[in-house]
Structure 1
Amino acid sequence: MLTAIKHAPHKALISLCAVLVVAGCSQPSTLQEIRDEGVLHVITRLSPSIYIEGQEGPSGYDYELAKLLADELGVELRVRVASDNTEILSVLDKNYAHIGMAGLSPQPALEGRYKTVSIGIAAQSMLVYHRELDRPESLAELAGKTIHVAADSNHEFRLNAAKQAHDGLQWQVHSGLDAAGVLARVESGEFPYAMVSSNELDLNHVFFPMVKEAFAVGETTDLAWFFPATQDNSLSNAVEAFFEQRRSDGTLAQISERFYGHLDRLNYVGARTFMHHVENRLPKYEDLFRDYAEAFNMDWRLLAAIGYQESHWRPNAVSPTGVRGLMMLTRNTASHIGINNRLDAEESIQGGAKYFRIVHEKIPERIPEPDRTWFALASYNVGFGHLEDARRLTEGAGRDPDRWMDVKEFLPLLAQKEWYSKTRFGYARGHEPVIYVQNIRRYYDVLSRLNAPLEQEPEQAEQFVRIEGAEKARPDTGAAEGDLRAALPRELGMIPPTL
């Protein structure tokens, strides 16, 4: 063989390669390459529906699933943040990433360019408009008017399909804009009409109260992860099996509830009121929230959200049932935790933080966050005994007593005799803690995004970076989704006082 290689190197190498192929040493699959390198490369964009970085680190519906996938594969997850969907698709075209998370649905124009796997979230294209305009009832009414959309979104192909039935339908595509950037321009009146995905509208609506929803265009479609067409099917097949398993074991439903289960808690009036109080009331107490949250090892934004739910940050608040102060402590609770003057803002905030920490520590440690915090909030509101009654009812029905999404269905049953008669602590207005928790989650979300750390400019546009220091590119949104301050009109009290 050595002689053959010496005298006919090309033929010998070809023969050797053929032998290796027959022996099973062919090119490794995409999935095997990922395992060999020990890294799953993902390209995405900043969006609370997909990926966002807060003070606690990365989060987002797609990110949480990508992290679970990487853990299951036994590899490291590396995320690169693109400026927009156009860049994401370009990176995939070059096969520079294994998965693209863009908040997109499969589209006719993209067939053949990418493989796709549904991620368990469905969305529609929603026509939105500035609140001071007359509400359009159909696309026909918008003939001759411009609809604004982000580039490489879910909306252009639907508008192209609708154009055949609606003469005069026209739209403008904006490169570099994301959903928040489009909504910010509708809020200001620059864009009278626009189109965004329903899930992104749900997540952003509270920040843009002058934006109204008109109607949906096209059918509801599943959002998907995208894979380069040049890949073999090994990774996409593994991802499909991963999602099927997570759908069966309830993980998809739980993560969906975490990010989308509380978004209906602020309507137009509530959003304007909350944002006004963020500017005009919160500055008086923010330092106290920060100081006592740190003292009791909790997030100051959560403590502030509890305070807003309790009293709208009013230190002299008094309820008909006798609870008082900014954190609305009962007389017995205040006495138990050593608070003398419930109407003193500092004592009240100190007492609220201390009491929440006591309640939180009662929740079993086996319950992971964020569910443990949500259970603690429910206990803060209705009492630990009633919460335990609801958890027992949940378990008795074959559901998971350690998951908030299950227990919140059983808490309202504590107001019905056929159910509370079977419990240890009896009757409770069980619907109230559910609303209480959902409201605080929404306030906390808003405060978290208003106080999110500023993004850093990317050092190298083509470099993959570990998740702990993920690269960020700031799109030309006027208000990137990780930094909403520029998009929030000052006259509505929507600029956070400090960051």
Structure 2
Amino acid sequence: MLAIALVTVGCSRPSTLQEIRSEGVLHVITRNAPSVYYEGRNGPTGYDYELVRLFADDLGVELKVRVADDNTGVLSVIDQDYAHIGLAGLADRPDFADRYHKVANGLKADSVVVYNRDTNRPDSVKDLEGQTLHLVADSNHEHQLKQLQSQNESLQWKVHSGLDAAGILARVESGEYPLAIVSSNELDLNHVFFPMVKSAFSLDDTADLVWLFPAEQDQTLAKAAESFISELRESGALAQISERFYGHLDRLNYVGARTFTHHVENRLPKYESLFRDYASSYDLDWRLLAAIGYQESHWRPNAVSPTGVRGLMMLTRATANHIGIKNRLDVEQSIQGGAKYLTMVHRKVPERIPEPDRTWFALASYNVGWGHVEDARRLTQGAGKDPDRWMDVKEFLPLLAQKEWYSKTRFGYARGHEPVIYVQNIRRYYDVLAWMTEPKEIAETPDKPWFKDLEGMEKIIRPSDAASQHETRASLPSELGLVPPTL
């Protein structure tokens, strides 16, 4: 009997956690979304991705991530036990009870009814009766609507399997969908890009968002993840990760002219000679270089972004290594690095594109990477518009945040609204700096390769005809711009 018992124990299957450590790989299935996972300027990022990457490091194993089309795909993979963890940005719900083990990821969200501000605001579920609500597939919202339908029989909704939250919000923005439901955290991340969208009320109380583990697994991995996240919470590291992705959202507001002019008077003089010297070394307009520095860090030499880029010009570690910068927090090295990198990305833009559009493309590439800019140019061309004209391409860059569009591109998801805002802000900062400098410097601008066509640039920044005035109002804020998204 003792021998039989020993054989039985010896043949028992190792735990899920033991298997992962033995194989040396943690398999994760996720989806593209700014709240979960996406390809950023410096590689993969996203709240859940950063968390699971740290978890894999803690386990001492390699992280392998696969990307599904949507929540439905994530749930299908977990249902079949084809991955260890599913990251879908969902809260627990009744149909998950026997399907998965769940671990809270440190974020909370609720289901928010949103509407177009040109329509009447609904104040309660009663006001939704007889109207169609739009939502993504396999969200947290549909089971709540089914529960409410028992008391509100005329509640109706439509599920869009081909759209994500950004796609839903874009249609509310345009008025195509008067009403929709999205998760509050996804609304927070996207709201600034859709000013016509307003929040009405929540359908439920806030709930924990969870990681999903196949029910076929034992709970050793789930318990390890729960313990790991708890340790991060206690140490304050979890709050820091949350700050990276959500802490800056309330800063994405227009800043006043007084703030900018105050910084011009009190901060810029400390660095102006460096901007002038290195702009001259790379044959740039120093005011353009200074405008980039302001957009990136508000001329703060010790700035550190949520994604780990540093210094006055906010260079990534990879970029700094590539261009030979040793210390990103050294002001002179940072400005020199910014000038060198700007020159490099400018050279990637086809020479056939005239100024100033070539510069606008270079600035967008400085922000989001040339690969994503090329994706937007291909989408622009596919729609029958001019991929060499910034005015056309900037309409398509935001589409890179919507699955129905980025799924057709080479480099996938990008926060495509940000390079548009980035370029708009720098144009505006440059405009003010040009206005505040001596006429002699303005006269010298045509000698700089960035603005060979000064007349063309003047038409964009200070238009005199009605058509170009319309373009300027569409692309430039009425005040001085937005606080940089990376701050």
Shorter-chain TM-score bucket reads 0.5 to 0.7
Q: Displacement of 1:318 after TM fit? A: 11
Which of the numbers 25, 28, 38 marks the counterpart of 1:52? 38
Tell whether the 8 Å contact from 1:363 to 1:372 is kept in structure 2 after alignment. no
Aligned residues: 348
Tell whether the 8 Å contact from 2:112 to 2:183 is kept in structure 1 after alignment. yes
Which of the numbers 49, 52, 57 marks the counterpart of 1:71? 57
Tell whether the 8 Å contact from 1:180 to 1:477 is kept in structure 2 after alignment. no
Matched, 1:477 2:404: yes
Residue-by-residue CA offset, 1:67-98 (whole Å, 9 max, x unaligned): 00000111110100000101111001110000
Aligned mates of 1:119, 1:351 — CA distance in 2: 40
Which of the numbers 198, 220, 245 marks the counterpart of 1:259? 245
Q: Displacement of 1:187 after TM fit? A: 1.7
Inter-CA distance 53–321: structure 2 relative to 1 (3 Å threshold): closer
Q: Displacement of 1:474 after TM fit? A: 10
Aligned match of 2:209: 223
SS in 2 for 1:242: helix
Structure 1 spans left out of the alignment, 5+ residues: 1-14, 271-308, 312-316, 379-442, 457-472
Aligned match of 1:282: none
Aligned mates of 1:173, 1:341 — CA distance in 2: 53
Residue-by-residue CA offset, 1:462-497 (whole Å, 9 max, x unaligned): xxxxxxxxxxx99863566825769x9x988479xx
- The aligned runs of 1:235-274 (5 Å cut-off) are 235-266=221-252, 270=254
Aligned-residue RMSD, C-alpha: 4.5
Aligned mates of 1:319, 1:475 — CA distance in 2: 33
Matched, 1:334 2:272: yes
Which of the numbers 182, 191, 195 marks the counterpart of 2:181? 195
Inter-CA distance 151–321: structure 2 relative to 1 (3 Å threshold): closer
Aligned mates of 1:52, 1:76 — CA distance in 2: 19
Task: Supply the AA of the counterpart residue of 1:149.
Answer: L
Tell whether the 8 Å contact from 2:243 to 2:306 is kept in structure 1 after alignment. no
SS in 1 for 2:203: strand
Residue-by-residue CA offset, 1:222-273 (whole Å, 9 max, x unaligned): 0000000000011001111111111111111000011000112235xx4xxx
Aligned mates of 1:357, 1:137 — CA distance in 2: 40
Aligned mates of 2:133, 2:369 — CA distance in 1: 28
SS in 1 for 2:217: coil
Aligned match of 1:210: 196
SS in 1 for 2:81: coil
SS in 1 for 2:205: strand
Aligned match of 2:289: 350
Aligned mates of 2:160, 2:83 — CA distance in 1: 25
Matched, 1:37 2:23: yes
Q: Of the two structures, which has the highest relative contact order with CA contacts closer than 8 Å and spacing of 6 or more?
A: 1
Which of the numbers 106, 114, 119 marks the counterpart of 2:92? 106
Structure 2 spans left out of the alignment, 5+ residues: 315-362, 379-399, 421-469, 477-487
Matched, 1:122 2:108: yes
Aligned mates of 1:142, 1:356 — CA distance in 2: 42
Tell whether the 8 Å contact from 1:103 to 1:223 is kept in structure 2 after alignment. yes
Q: Displacement of 1:333 after TM fit? A: 3.5
Inter-CA distance 261–475: structure 2 relative to 1 (3 Å threshold): closer
More helix by proportion, 1 or 2? 2
Aligned mates of 1:55, 1:372 — CA distance in 2: 10
Task: Supply the AA of the counterpart residue of 2:264.
Answer: V
Over alpha carbons, which structure has the higher Rg? 1
Inter-CA distance 40–360: structure 2 relative to 1 (3 Å threshold): farther
SS in 1 for 2:147: helix
SS in 2 for 1:129: strand
Aligned mates of 1:248, 1:93 — CA distance in 2: 32
SS in 2 for 1:79: strand
Tell whether the 8 Å contact from 2:108 to 2:206 is kept in structure 1 after alignment. yes
Aligned match of 1:132: 118
Which of the numbers 171, 174, 185 marks the counterpart of 2:160? 174
Inter-CA distance 177–341: structure 2 relative to 1 (3 Å threshold): closer
- The aligned runs of 1:77-92 (5 Å cut-off) are 77-92=63-78
Aligned mates of 1:90, 1:494 — CA distance in 2: 42
- The aligned runs of 1:285-364 (5 Å cut-off) are 323=264, 330-335=268-273, 338=276, 346-351=285-290, 363=302
Aligned mates of 1:17, 1:67 — CA distance in 2: 42
Normalized against structure 2, the TM-score is what? 0.61
Inter-CA distance 494–96: structure 2 relative to 1 (3 Å threshold): farther
Aligned match of 2:482: none
